[in-house]
């Protein structure tokens, strides 16, 4: 995900047509406007429709308008952009937009580094005579904004003439030449290239309901097949056991009938009922037994915390003097033994 644009899940606004509402969260409104311009320029390249939504002014009121103040009712929201198109086109557009924004910001950062190298050189000394640290921070910030604006303006052009620097002017006035230099070194910015794997992932993200339903059906079908396999194995085991028992019973009947001479009178094998496999019994969860009604001495004795039980503890446990002899515990051992 890019840090310069927030991409929510696209929704299907019409059959086969998807809509996504982009948000540009840059802290500076001017920088967010430049990101908006990048997204706007890429819409025609990828064959999607882009529109800037209207935003109301929260400071506007009817009374302010009647008094003639400068508060407007509203205007175009440059921090948002609505993109519509086919599923494949929108997916390719979103994947390419993240890459292009990252590349443009990287070029602007490289231009700022060029500016830093220039201000530390000997050539810049005549122009920095009346500049201090605070003004140079402002110069650097404005220089980056100007370079970024120049790069955004040149995104749609196929050819970009390379300019040369003028040593008689400060570099913050030559942001266009520096933007052309860094763009030429990087080989330009391709607005059409998009990773096919990322496009496929984005398409799946656009229709999560269908994907989730397909995954649920696959899991349900796999569970059904596994249950059917287990049931077939269980039935086969029942048949094997029943066949073994039948063979043993027939062998015993044949031996007994041969001895009694009554083999033809009792066709036991034909009268035996067919095998009926019972359904599997549900497993009932068993709860661990709870130890209720036990005194502290008994619980301590159960968990092994007490090794020596004095006679007083035995009397409290049984309510009377025990019939069996209880050895007397020496004071020293009673001192170091756990309490009952």
| Residue-wise pLDDT tens digits, 58-74 | 777 666 666 666 666 77
Answer whether residue 20 is part of any domain. yes
Which pairing describes strands 74-76 and 54-56: parallel, antiparallel, or unpaired? antiparallel
State the Cα–Cα distance between residues 81 and 20, nearest whole angstrom.
8
Closest CA to 126 of 170, 175, 174: 170
Judgement on whether residues 266 and 304 belong to the same structural domain of the protein: no
Q: How many domains does the chain have?
A: 3
Residue 181 has pLDDT above 60, yes or no: yes
Determine the pLDDT at residue 159.
57
123's CB contacts (< 8 A; 6+ apart) are: 167
Answer whether residue 276 is part of any domain. no
Answer whether residue 202 is part of any domain. yes
Among 206, 231, 258, residue at a domain's last position: 206
Residue ranges making up the domain that contains 305: 296-336
Judgement on whether residues 214 and 77 belong to the same structural domain of the protein: no
Answer whether residue 283 is part of any domain. no
Judgement on whether residues 267 and 138 belong to the same structural domain of the protein: no
Mean pLDDT of the chain: 77
Judgement on whether residues 185 and 78 belong to the same structural domain of the protein: yes
Higher pLDDT, 207 or 18: 18
pLDDT band at residue 305 under the 50/70/90 scheme: very low
HEC string for 238-253? HHHHHHHHHHHHHHHH
Answer whether residue 290 is part of any domain. no
Note the pLDDT tens digit of each residue in 232-261: 888 888 888 888 877 887 787 777 777 776
Mean pLDDT of 36-51: 89
State the Cα–Cα distance between residues 192 and 197, nearest whole angstrom.
15
State the Cα–Cα distance between residues 122 and 126, nearest whole angstrom.
8
Answer whether residue 260 is part of any domain. yes
**Residue 74, helix vs strand vs coil:** strand
Mean pLDDT of 178-202: 84
Judgement on whether residues 86 and 35 belong to the same structural domain of the protein: yes
């Amino acid at each position: 995900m890019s840090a310069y644009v927030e991409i929510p899940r696209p929704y299907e606004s019409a059959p086969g047509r998807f809509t996504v509402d982009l948000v540009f969260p840059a802290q500076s409104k001017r920088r967010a406007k430049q990101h908006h311009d990048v997204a706007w320029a890429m819409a025609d390249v990828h064959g999607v429709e882009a529109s800037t939504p209207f935003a109301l002014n929260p400071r506007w009121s009817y009374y302010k308008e009647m008094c003639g103040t400068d508060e407007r009712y509203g205007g175009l929201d440059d921090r948002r952009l609505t993109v519509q198109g086919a599923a494949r086109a929108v997916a390719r557009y979103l994947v390419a937009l993240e890459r292009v924004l990252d590349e443009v910001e990287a070029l602007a950062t490289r231009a700022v580094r060029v500016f830093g190298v220039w201000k530390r050189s000997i050539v810049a000394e005549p122009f920095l005579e009346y500049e201090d640290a605070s003004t140079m921070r402002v110069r650097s910030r404005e220089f980056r904004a100007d370079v970024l604006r120049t790069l955004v303006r040149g995104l749609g052009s196929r050819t970009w003439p390379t300019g040369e620097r003028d040593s008689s002017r400060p570099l913050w006035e030559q942001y266009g030449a520096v933007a052309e230099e860094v763009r030429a070194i990087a080989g330009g910015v391709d607005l059409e290239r998009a990773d096919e794997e990322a496009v496929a992932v984005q398409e799946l993200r656009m229709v999560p309901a269908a994907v989730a339903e397909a995954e649920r059906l696959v899991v349900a079908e796999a569970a059904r097949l596994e249950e059917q396999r287990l049931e077939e194995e269980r039935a086969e085991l029942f048949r094997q056991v029943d066949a073994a028992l039948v063979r043993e019973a027939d062998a015993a009947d044949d031996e007994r009938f041969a001895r009694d001479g009554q083999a033809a009178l009792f066709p036991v094998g034909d009268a035996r009922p067919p095998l009926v496999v019972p359904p599997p019994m549900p497993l009932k969860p068993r709860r661990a037994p709870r130890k209720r009604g036990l005194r502290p001495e008994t619980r301590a004795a159960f968990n092994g915390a007490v090794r020596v039980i004095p006679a007083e503890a035995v009397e409290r446990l049984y309510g009377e003097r025990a019939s069996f002899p209880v050895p007397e515990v020496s004071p020293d051992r009673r001192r170091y033994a756990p309490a009952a």
